[in-house]
Amino acid sequence: MTTRRFFLRNSALAMVGAGTAPLWLQRVLYAADAPSPRKKILVAIFQRGAADGLNIVVPHAEKRYYEMRPTIAVPRPSQMPDRREDAAIDLDGFFGLHPALAPLKPIWDDGHLAIVHAAGSPDPTRSHFDAQDFMESATPGLKATADGWMNRALPHAEPAATVSPVRAVAMGPVLPRAMRGANPAVAVQNLSDFQVRNAEASGAFQALYADSQDPLLHAAGRETFEAVSLLQSVRKRPYEPAADANYPRGHLGDCLRQIAQLIKADVGVEMAFADVGGWDHHVNEVGARASEGQLAMRLADFGQALAAFWLDLGDLRHAAAVVTMSEFGRTARENGDRGTDHGHANCMFAMGGGVRGGKVYGEWPGLEPEQLYEARDLALTTDFRDVLGELVRGQLGIRDLSRVFPGYAPKPCGILRGSPGNGSHAEARAST
């Protein structure tokens, strides 16, 4: 898997010493080596707190949905002809997007956004903590798994020195569970601050680590200063997103803007991770109308951030895929506080150049009492590892998925072009 670029980079850096290469050389080595084949990229977004999938991708043709959510349901697309901003945006006659997700509709229409509904972790836990843990380790029910699925999904590279020091990047202060493990992965809290803040000390540190007799510290120091120096030119150049890419202010927008910045800088990123909290709406989930309230605000941020990222990538879209997940869904019925409690299955989004979009995937389990999980939650019909597995194979080229998802054999859903599929909700519904 050695690309010419990284071979060049390492041999050149070996000559001049890591991090001391002049800027022009770094630019030649890192960015301007156009003929090298660009790797595909997988971006994972975790919505922490259990997002309410039934109000995000709304089953507006289900009568039961409206019966169970008398005050917080998102109205049918046809219901409010004069106030369309307060009704679901129809996708296929059965499902509709929450109106705050309007920025995603063009991507759906272009066939680059797919949805998998009734997806998630088969583990019955309704604990945020356990469920997030299981989703990030991708071993539901097994708490002692030490590493995360993203780390295990990093393609093996021999020799290890030939890969980019920033091939796996998580936005945040520490590596998320999903990216922890034996393979190197970098946590970046803020790209503009990924450095030793004191220039004089930085040089001294670099020399000390280069001279260290301890092989691990020597290597870690090299890896660090390589990443710092690799990102230095990226960091120093003010970043201008594409003209029409309006990232929302806030954490997710910041994360995705920086991920786009890294991807466009062509520094060898193969996977990236960002998370966004605030989805645990037990009380007053929806405001006076569907376009108002806590969920609408979170979704406006979410939809705008994803759409901006998509526009920002420009012609690099073909290489990138984004997948979203949340630890579990919420109760099918609203509770007494105009909110929802912890549930089971949820919806996942997949967006990318290779995604076969414009389609809601997965078997729809229905919302009749006997169809609900434990008589209260949307039942699960697609294991989240089926979705992740297909993307890991398609984007990262991993053939043997048993290493990434131990004890489980992912079944592709068909969300990527060129992979076999199980079909869409439309087929399942045709029989009802």
Partner 1 sequence: MHAGTAQQKLDLFSSFPPDRQDQLLENMGQGMRMELFAAAPPGLRRRIQCANGPQAMVAQDLTEAKLFRAVYSNRQLDEVLVDFWYNHFNVYLEKGADHYLVTAYERDAIRPHVLGKFEDLLRATAQSPAMLFYLDNWESAGSQSPAGQRRQRGLNENYGRELLELHTLGVDGGYTQKDVTEVARCFTGWTIRQPQRVAEFEFNPRMHDDGDKTVLGVRIPAGGGIGDGFQVLHLLAQHPSTAHFISRKLAMRFVADDPPETLVKRMAATFLKKDGDLRAVLKTMFDSPEFWSRRAYRSKIKSPLEMVASSLRVLNAQVDFTFGLNNQLTQLGEPLYRKAEPTGYSNSGQEWLNSAGLLARMNFSVALVNNKLPGVKVDSAHSAEGVTLGSPDFQKK
Interface residue list for partner 1 (CB under 8 A): 127, 129-130, 132-133, 143-144, 146, 165, 173-175, 177, 184-189, 194-198, 201-202, 204-205, 208-209, 212, 214, 216-218, 220-221, 223-224, 227-228
To partner 1, the closest distance from the beta carbon of 58 in angstroms equals 30
Closest CB to partner 1 among 32 and 146? 146
To partner 1, the closest distance from the beta carbon of 60 in angstroms equals 32
Closest CB to partner 1 among 185 and 416? 185
To partner 1, the closest distance from the beta carbon of 301 in angstroms equals 21
* Tokens linked to 268: 């060898």
Complete DSSP assignment for 174-223: S--GGG-SSS--EEES-GGG-S-SSHHHHHHHHHHHHH-S-HHHHHHHHH
* Alpha carbon 226 to chain centroid, angstroms: 26
DSSP code at position 230: H
Strands 113-120 and 382-383: parallel
* Tokens linked to 326: 């949340």
424 forms beta bridges with 361
Angle, in degrees to the nearest 10, between helices 215-236 and 199-211: 150
Q: What does the radius of gyration of the chain's CA atoms come to, in whole angstroms?
A: 22
Closest CB to partner 1 among 2 and 198? 198
Closest CB to partner 1 among 48 and 105? 48
To partner 1, the closest distance from the beta carbon of 57 in angstroms equals 29
Q: Cβ distance 115 to 360 under 8 Å?
A: yes
373 forms beta bridges with 377
Q: Cβ distance 185 to 168 under 8 Å?
A: yes
* Tokens linked to 312: 């920002």
Torsion sign, CA atoms 172, 178, 295, 362: positive
Cα 18 to Cα 12, 158, 168, distances in angstroms: 9, 19, 20
Residue with tokens 């604990």: 127
Closest CB to partner 1 among 90 and 254? 254
Sheet architecture: strand order including 89-90? 57-58, 96-97, 89-90
Q: Cβ distance 259 to 136 under 8 Å?
A: no
To partner 1, the closest distance from the beta carbon of 133 in angstroms equals 6
Closest CB to partner 1 among 29 and 227? 227
To partner 1, the closest distance from the beta carbon of 283 in angstroms equals 17
| Dist CA 168 CA 222 (whole Å) | 17
Closest CB to partner 1 among 288 and 375? 375
171 forms beta bridges with 188
To partner 1, the closest distance from the beta carbon of 284 in angstroms equals 21
Please name the helix (run of DSSP H) or strand (run of DSSP E) that holds residue 54, with its range, or none. helix 53-56
Closest CB to partner 1 among 216 and 430? 216
Length of the chain: 432
To partner 1, the closest distance from the beta carbon of 199 in angstroms equals 11
Amino acid (one-letter) located at 151: N
To partner 1, the closest distance from the beta carbon of 299 in angstroms equals 25
> Rounded to a whole number, what is the distance in angstroms from the first to the last CA of the chain?
49
Closest CB to partner 1 among 20 and 422? 20
Closest CB to partner 1 among 342 and 393? 342
To partner 1, the closest distance from the beta carbon of 136 in angstroms equals 10
Q: Cβ distance 350 to 360 under 8 Å?
A: no
To partner 1, the closest distance from the beta carbon of 413 in angstroms equals 29
Closest CB to partner 1 among 152 and 359? 152
